[in-house]
Amino acid sequence: MVFDVDRAFSIEGSPTREAPSDVEIFQSYELLGWGNKPRLSRARYVFSGLDDLDLEVRFYRYWRDYDERIVLQNLETGKYCQVKASKRGNDVHSWRLKERFAWLRHSFPNVEFFDDKNFKTDSEVTTRALWISLTHDRKIESTRAEAWRNVGKHWDNHMRALRHKYGRISTLRVWHGYDSDGFPQPHAILLFHDHEFRVFQHYNQKGDLEFCVHEKDEIARLWHSFIDVKAIHSTKALLTYVTKYQFSQIAGGSDEQLMSQLYLHGKRSFSVSGDFREKLSEFIGQLHNSACRDEAILVGEDRLQGKEPLTSSYSKVPSLFNVEKKVRPPKWRFIGIFARKKLEEIEGCLLKSWSGELKNFQKSDEVSEYEMWLSDHSFDREVFHKKAFA
């Protein structure tokens, strides 16, 4: 069923009633389940045959702001507790993202790998750290949905070709998207273990100084579309690349269009090689001058080994799982995911914190929610049955 907006207006163009709300439009496309809950399985089914980027962004925003709580039961005490669910772009997701990359902000001093003074001598300037931006030719995949489904495969093929040509590589990859149509545009920081690239200076059309590499064409031949390659000249520049895209994906970030595509297509915002942190520390240590090398290694390696705990303003977030040392943590049973409004009705009060005990939650509430879940997912079973025998 498709919502007919034209029926809401008279022939003369005068509205006979108010324009439909987002919830009404979502309902008309059957994007919502019981209690107007947004559901990813329905969104994927609907948008697989509907190319409407604006509607996808609005639905993502509705899903992100629909506050849901994970309900758990302590198997020792029988008490129920709730924890706010992490959703791409909400405050919990933002906290997790900042904590995950806190080591980038705290672990390393700013180190200049090279600067414009190095190019005034006869010595050759090289680097093993590159930043790449990969575009997506519309001739490869003609639709946005198809491009996002296959971008991971294209990226893996590109990295496989790079490793075959240049040897071992540690990566930090982020997904990005075109502002105009939402097509994928991967960005990555690459640390090459076994190869150095020759660097030269270049002033772009805006008059800004850039550091490029002579081997760009060699790298470009390993990707199906246009590629941009830059040499990273300092740890500060490296952090700038990462945080630029990181902060566009946290609560209040500007890139809701990108987040909607990551949500619909199940893409992780970031991908970091297991050895990226270690290799970055080694890379900085090798390039730092003797006076600062020990400091870089001490700061980076000590924190890498967990000798100095990282702290941030988010470290005091209330948690159900803060227990004293040498105390066995309790065992929990997953009950389900509930709308915050539903739990507030049961508790008779507002849930203001991210987590806490549920004093009025009963076994009957657990059973009632499960029955609604079964009813809600009958849509998915019908849809997949039709697709399987179509």
Q: How confident is the model at residue 12 (pLDDT cuts 50, 70, 90)?
A: very low
Q: Which DSSP state fits 36? A: G
Q: How many CB atoms lie within 10 A of CB 234?
A: 17
Nearest to 96 by CA among 244, 265, 240, 268: 268
CA distance 121 to 142: 49
**Average pLDDT value for residue range 290-311:** 42
Q: Could you report the per-residue pLDDT of 63-97, keeping only the tens digit for each?
A: 999 999 999 999 999 999 999 999 988 989 888 88
297 vs 128, higher pLDDT:
128
pLDDT at 215 over 80: yes
What is the DSSP code string of 58-99?
Answer: HHHHHHHHS-EEEEEEETTT--EEEEEPP-TTSHHHHHHHHH
59 contacts 38 by C-beta, under 8 angstroms: yes
Q: Could you report the per-residue pLDDT of 320-365, keeping only the tens digit for each?
A: 444 445 567 778 899 888 999 999 999 999 998 999 999 999 877 7
Q: Could you report the per-residue pLDDT of 235-263, keeping only the tens digit for each?
A: 888 877 777 766 665 555 558 899 999 99
Domains of the chain: which residue ranges?
Answer: 112-287
**Mean pLDDT for the chain overall:** 79
pLDDT at res. 94:
85
Helices 40-47 and 53-65: angle between axes, nearest 10 degrees: 180
CA 151 to chain centre: 15
pLDDT at res. 237:
82
Q: How confident is the model at residue 318 (pLDDT cuts 50, 70, 90)?
A: very low
What number does CATH give the domain 112-287? 3.40.1310
267 contacts 147 by C-beta, under 8 angstroms: no
**Average pLDDT value for residue range 226-230:** 95
